[in-house]
Amino acid sequence: MKGNIIGKRIPRIDSVPKATGTAEYTVDLKLPGMIYGKILRSPLPHARIKSLDVSAAEALPGVCAVITAADVPMGKFSFFQWLADKTIFSSDKVRYVGDEVAAVAAIDADTAEKAIELIQVDYDPLPAVFETEEAMTADAPLIHDQESNIGFKVERHFGDPDNAFESCDFVVEGCYKTDRVAHCCLEVSNCVASWTPEGRLSIWTNAQAPHTQRQEVARILEIPLQDVRIINSHMGGGFGSKLVMDMKLPIAAVLSKKTGRPVKIQNTRAEEFSTAKTRYGYTMYVKTGAKKDGTLQARTVRVIADNGAYHDKGPATLNFSSMMFATLYNIPNIHYEGMVVYTNKQMSTAFRGFGNPQLTFACEVQLDELAEKIGMDPVEIRRINANTPGQKLQCGAVVPTCGLRECIEVAAQNIAWKEKYNRKDKLRGVGVANMVHTAAGGRYYGYNATDSFIKVADDGTVSIVTPGLEMGQGVHTVVAMIVAEELGLDMKSVKVLSNDTDLTPYDLGSWGSRATFVVGNAALATAREARVVIIETAAKMLDTKPEFIDLENGMAVARGPGMPEKSVSMGKLAAYAINNMKAPISVKGQWADDIPEDWDIKTEFVKNVRSFAFATQTCEVEIDKDTGEVKVLKFVAAHETGTTMNEMLAEGQIEGAVMQGIGFTLMESMTLDNGRVVNDGFLDYKLPTFGEQPEIDVQLIETGDPHGPYGAKGIGEAGLVPTAAALANAIYNASGIRVTELPITREFMLNALREK
């Protein structure tokens, strides 16, 4: 769609403040009287706390407060409260290197740091376990007071895979592993907590989901929800790491309460690497069977996800990846078994794609193995198994629109697949992978809806209050574009107000590629409501009928048969509404996903997703035989957008995600020494830089969506979902080395090439 605004390459509304350094982030915030908090963390992966002595820290000049488990509510907490397993501070035992033990607040950060060092803790070390499959054995040390370290299990079953495998012409089995990787937001996790004299708590923090974090803070501190307010600023990246409340929020709140002053707590980069949570590492046992014509008949998987020491988004991650497992292709016989397993490591959490990048790596690499066994081109096997628009899948999901075949065509063509596949020269090769992802968040809260408000001011500007959480992806720009499009305004005339839970309507936050879809739909409904009121007002003012009024260039223009053209500016119109009609223009709009009332997530989990987006990525790599370096020459990322709201934003999302995918595949890994993260800085944790960045050819395929705003689908996460598989498949095509474990480091490649 090309409107006046929608579909155009519109610059972000926050780019000038960001390019001039005036955009304020939480980490820039300094309140009058503010003091600095610091958390004492466990140095051991698993140990009993024998004794704790804070007296020397308390005696240090400049220290305002020292708190331990004795000073805070000690009810257990988790994102899913039915899995609650973590207290604010550990009182009896610590379960990972970084577990919170105590905290101080002092007049400056240096004093707080010194005070932390003065706290004496006597630990009794316990045996620790770091690998999931070791943690599942009968004699493994138990991390929580439970029968085993398996924390949660889920199973999905469709058809009869066991029998189906019997009748398949080809079957492939294998084990695939992905590593735990860090989100690496450039702004570290931080917060400032402050109480009003009336006893109300405000927390400024970089949160992706302020309304649910508000509930989490109230829950863990055992205070009424109405006493908590969460305020966001500009945010230096999220990627899933800032969905669930970090313990520094209640800790800062308690320190602030105790001292009567605002308290700021901010991670160091090393703390961020050690405690800010990671992507769930997946170990996946996969089996796929097909007929000799390449049609997929059966697929099973057993996923073992590394939970770390406490629960977080594990069930959501496993459930979500089970759904994508069942919907990428229409396979009649499927079994999915997933579990999260405790280890003595930092917690895992959501990370762009909710388990789907891990699972897609395994499934799409195995599909290439299957194609090879059948003697089929990897592009061809994907083409014949691709879903089509309107298809009802065996698992129950319906795919209303699907552009996968178009994605496959363009991705193969733009990488010159026919010329380059199997050329077997100079260790160069090409690879392909498909993916499906949610384009509209998820419904597992039981609802997926939000509101927004619009007011028209007598200066001609329009303000929209939206809960759309801007973490860098551009949702505020999308919201402003929708309002401008509907009301005939330029972008400068639209203001987006957001990010304070006292101001914004309730919303679930920015995750699951849902913001454009859910928040965008609410903005569209609100803008259309405002349009009706504006046009009615203009009709009165211009003495004509509403059907003759149009909104364009900041004006309401009346054009009708046999009447002279008349117009009035938005500002004058708003003033008329205020002064003459005594009815200032302000409206509310809402969008609610029509979740079936009888939906049971346990049995009908496939209805968790409102809308799907498909994609194909292809790439070309060249491997250096002397260094093992995998040089990525080019990526083609062909993604279904439904309707492209803003090409520049969509490309930016996909380019950035592909680069995160390249890091996930080739470079990123947490190195542990007895549970301690050794590479806890950017010097040792390899993040992709300008040097690794290949040409990324983003192709946006418009298929429309029956429910998205203007037909748009969410595309925030999709860009890294197929990246690892496409790369691993290209590496196989280049070298004959089949990689089943991430990351594919230079060291691994070099050894593999030598062994060949």
Partner 1 sequence: MKELINLTINDQAYEVAVAPNQTLVDVLRYQLELTGTKKGCELGDCGSCTVIMDGKPVNSCLVLAMQAVGKDIKTIEGLETEQGLHPVQKAFVEKQGVQCGFCTSGMILSAKSLLDKNGDPTEHEIRKALSGNLCRCTGYQKIIESVQAASKGVSK
Query: For binding to partner 1 (CB under 8 A), which residues are involved?
Result: 11-12, 14-25, 27-28, 30, 183-188, 234-237, 239, 268-269, 471-474, 648-649, 651-652, 655-660, 681-683, 687-691, 693, 695-696
Sign of the dihedral through C-alpha 57, 58, 59, 61: positive
Report, in Å, the least distance between residue 621 CB and partner 1. 17
Beta strands 555-558 and 566-569, pairing class: antiparallel
What count of other Cβ atoms lies within 10 Å of the Cβ of residue 226?
Answer: 9
Query: In the structure, how many helices (H) and strands (E) does the chain have?
Result: 19, 32
199: which DSSP letter? S
Report, in Å, the least distance between residue 693 CB and partner 1. 4
Report, in Å, the least distance between residue 498 CB and partner 1. 15
| Nearer residue to partner 1 within complex by CB, 454 or 715 | 715
| Nearer residue to partner 1 within complex by CB, 496 or 609 | 496
Q: How far apart are CA 431 and CA 356, in angstroms?
A: 19
- Measured between its terminal Cα atoms, the distance across the chain in Å is 52
Report, in Å, the least distance between residue 416 CB and partner 1. 20
Q: Encoding tokens for residue 551?
A: 């909104």
Q: How far apart are CA 317 and CA 395, in angstroms?
A: 19
| Nearer residue to partner 1 within complex by CB, 589 or 656 | 656
Q: How far apart are CA 119 and CA 122, in angstroms?
A: 10
Are residues 500 and 229 in contact, defined by beta-carbon separation less than 8 angstroms?
A: yes
Report, in Å, the least distance between residue 269 CB and partner 1. 4
Report, in Å, the least distance between residue 147 CB and partner 1. 40
SS3 content of the chain, % helix, strand, coil (to 5): 30, 25, 40
Q: Encoding tokens for residue 719?
A: 């860009």
Report, in Å, the least distance between residue 658 CB and partner 1. 6
Report, in Å, the least distance between residue 22 CB and partner 1. 7
Q: How far apart are CA 264 and CA 193, in angstroms?
A: 7
Beta strands 201-205 and 190-195, pairing class: antiparallel
Q: Long-range pairs for 747-750 at CB < 8 Å and ≥24 separation? A: 747/628, 748/628, 749/623, 749/628, 749/629, 749/630, 750/627, 750/628
Report, in Å, the least distance between residue 17 CB and partner 1. 8
Report, in Å, the least distance between residue 474 CB and partner 1. 7
| Nearer residue to partner 1 within complex by CB, 196 or 689 | 689
| Nearer residue to partner 1 within complex by CB, 138 or 683 | 683
Nearest one of 336, 303, 595, 338 to 442, comparing CA atoms: 595
| Nearer residue to partner 1 within complex by CB, 23 or 557 | 23
- Give the CA distances from residue 245 to residues 11, 153, 687, 720, in Å, rounded to whole numbers and listed in that order: 32, 24, 25, 25
Are residues 159 and 91 in contact, defined by beta-carbon separation less than 8 angstroms?
A: no
Nearest one of 496, 503, 500 to 480, comparing CA atoms: 496
| Nearer residue to partner 1 within complex by CB, 239 or 329 | 239
Report, in Å, the least distance between residue 192 CB and partner 1. 14
Beta-bridged to residue 152, according to DSSP, are 340
What are the DSSP calls for 123-143, one per residue? EEE-----SHHHHTSTTSPPS
Q: Encoding tokens for residue 189?
A: 């996790």
Report, in Å, the least distance between residue 419 CB and partner 1. 24
Report, in Å, the least distance between residue 480 CB and partner 1. 15
Report, in Å, the least distance between residue 687 CB and partner 1. 6
| Nearer residue to partner 1 within complex by CB, 33 or 197 | 33
| Nearer residue to partner 1 within complex by CB, 19 or 532 | 19
Nearest one of 264, 254, 266, 271 to 67, comparing CA atoms: 254
| Nearer residue to partner 1 within complex by CB, 98 or 250 | 98
Are residues 668 and 685 in contact, defined by beta-carbon separation less than 8 angstroms?
A: yes
Q: How far, in whole angstroms, is CA 364 from its chain's centroid?
A: 22
Length of the chain, please? 756
| Nearer residue to partner 1 within complex by CB, 645 or 752 | 645
Q: How far apart are CA 610 and CA 448, in angstroms?
A: 9
H-helix or E-strand spanning residue 171: strand 170-177
| Nearer residue to partner 1 within complex by CB, 243 or 399 | 243
| Nearer residue to partner 1 within complex by CB, 601 or 687 | 687
- The full 3-state SS of 260-288, as one line of letters, equals CCCEEEECCHHHHHHHCCEECCEEEEEEE
| Nearer residue to partner 1 within complex by CB, 681 or 706 | 681
Q: How far apart are CA 407 and CA 637, in angstroms?
A: 8
| Nearer residue to partner 1 within complex by CB, 176 or 239 | 239
The amino acid occupying position 170 is F
Report, in Å, the least distance between residue 716 CB and partner 1. 11
Instruction: Tell me the Ramachandran region of residue 439: left when phi exceeds 0, alpha when psi lies from -120 to 50, beta otherwise.
Output: alpha
| Nearer residue to partner 1 within complex by CB, 437 or 443 | 437
Residue 678 buriedness (CB in 10 A; 0-12 / 13-18 / 19+): middle
Are residues 329 and 157 in contact, defined by beta-carbon separation less than 8 angstroms?
A: no
Kindly provide the b/e burial profile for residues 483-514, where b requires at least 16 CB atoms within 10 angstroms of the residue's own CB.
bbbbbbbebebbbbebbbbeebbebbbbbbbb
Report, in Å, the least distance between residue 123 CB and partner 1. 28
Beta-bridged to residue 282, according to DSSP, are 305
| Nearer residue to partner 1 within complex by CB, 237 or 488 | 237
| Nearer residue to partner 1 within complex by CB, 12 or 279 | 12
Report, in Å, the least distance between residue 471 CB and partner 1. 6
Report, in Å, the least distance between residue 116 CB and partner 1. 17
